[in-house]
Amino acid sequence: MKATSVSAVGRLTKSDYQALAQFRYQLRRFLRFSEDVTRKQGITPLQYLLLLQIRGFPGREWATVGELAERLQAKQHGVVSLISRCEAAGLVRRSAGRSDRRRVEVTLTRKGEGHLERLARIHRAELRSLQNAFFVPQATGFLSAKQGARAPGKRIARVGKRPVPSSSERSARHGL
């Protein structure tokens, strides 16, 4: 998405800043919740995200290193290190690609699936508890209809009804 200058959509008001601050606060509270709960379950937040992206990858039960790097919004070499740590912990398995032997496919192990199942249930319950509180900010200055943004005040997390946009998609959409 192309960045839009403030002058193109008008000056931000105090209420725009308050709405954006509230949105970021809600987002950070959820992320903090996630960080705490994953550590209590014995894995790191990044390990949980990796497991989630593998299991949640559209159309199949595995993902490549490059695909995971994109989904995690991380550098490929960092994702390789994360995969290595998860593999050493018995959470994932790497194998040569089925159609292209040069490609590495990453799948979950039974242990990884167990961790993911427990944590995903906890995260789903937390998202459900936030359904009426977690909204895209009511803002006129930084959400413009020309940018293709959602109508102000729409929920971004409706569990079970539609996929929650990735953090990079949300950030790009809202210029955060």
pLDDT, one tens digit per residue, over 67-123 is 999 999 999 999 999 999 999 999 999 998 888 888 899 999 999 999 999 999 999
Cα–Cα distance, 40 to 19 (Å, whole number): 32
Query: 21 and 48 share a domain?
Result: no
How far apart are the C-alpha atoms of 137 and 58, rounded to whole Å?
Answer: 29
Supply the range of the domain harboring residue 105: 41-122
Q: 92-96 and 104-108: which strand pairing?
A: antiparallel
Residue 2 falls within a domain, yes or no? no
Give the confidence band of 158 by pLDDT, cuts at 50, 70, 90: very low
Say yes or no: 98 and 155 in one domain. Answer: no
* Strand pairing category for 62-64 and 92-96: unpaired
Task: For residue 105, give every residue at least 6 positions away whose Cβ sits within 8 Å of its Cβ, in sequence order, or none.
Answer: 62, 63, 64, 94, 95, 96, 97, 98
Within a domain: residue 3?
Answer: no
The domain tally of the chain equals 2
Whether 73 is in a domain gets the answer yes
**Are 103 and 152 members of one domain?**
no
Same domain, 93 and 103: yes
Q: Are residues 88 and 140 in the same domain?
A: no
Pair (65, 100) in one structural domain: yes
